[in-house]
Amino acid sequence: FPQACSPFIQAARCYARPVRRKRKDIPSHLDDLPPTMLKKGYADVPIINSVDDVVRRLLSLEMASQKEKVKIKTQQLVEKVRRSPNDNGSFEVQVAVLTAKIRTYEEHLQRHPKDKSNRRRMLMAVDRRRKMLAYLRRVRYDTFQSTCEQLNIQYSLPPPYSRRVTKRGLVKKAFCLKVFQEARKLKAAERLKQRREWQERARAAREKQAQSEG
């Protein structure tokens, strides 16, 4: 029979046992999708109401993968901002598609913060969406405002460009200004010479025309 270990050894074993961290319940942007909702493409099938409950559960979001849920969520966001039923490529639709991708990447990075590849993809998507929103804000402000409200996007203006002043930068700027002024003087002399030549040609042409008329 195995010998009973002392309380000291038992306490040491418990101390050395790895502690399992509990995963935090991260809220998802897919939580508002009802599990009884059918997958994309099965809702319009005529015989879907007459199938068995097991088959219906297999075709619903209860058994769907993350990719299928993201497709349905993307379609819902697109339906909010599209201009017409056939609109699939406007700026508003592209912003909606990018918003669904960005929120999916954010949830993934909250669970796996060291995934640098997906973090890079998310930053690229954020930058692309920012450019599209800036274009909409500049060209069609009402569409930009309604798109941000429908998709729950908080748009912030980019910070103004600023550069730290250094001694090397000041010397370089002064040298560039001096070179620009010298080049401008040379061009001014050449332009004055060309102008005088044009004036002399025009005067000679007028004199020649007057002699031919006289």
pLDDT 10s digits, 8-23: 555 555 554 555 565 6
- What average pLDDT does this structure show over 110-131? 93
Residue-wise pLDDT for 163-209, tens only, equals: 788 999 899 999 999 999 999 888 888 888 888 999 999 988 888 88
Residue 130 and residue 102: Cα distance in Å, rounded?
A: 12
Closest among 105, 104, 77, 109 to 93, alpha carbons compared: 77
Q: How many domains does the chain have?
A: 1
Asked whether 66 and 74 are in contact (CB, 8 A), the reply is: no
Assigned domain for 118 exists = yes
Assigned domain for 99 exists = yes
Q: Which domain holds residue 61?
A: 53-151
- What average pLDDT does this structure show over 55-80? 84
Residue written as tokens 């059918």?
38
Q: What is the pTM of this model?
A: 0.61
**Between residues 176 and 212, the one the model is more confident about:** 176
Confidence band for 106, pLDDT divided at 50, 70 and 90: very high
Helix orientation angle between 141-151 and 116-139, rounded to the nearest 10 degrees:
140
> Which CATH number goes with the domain that contains 113?
1.10.287.10
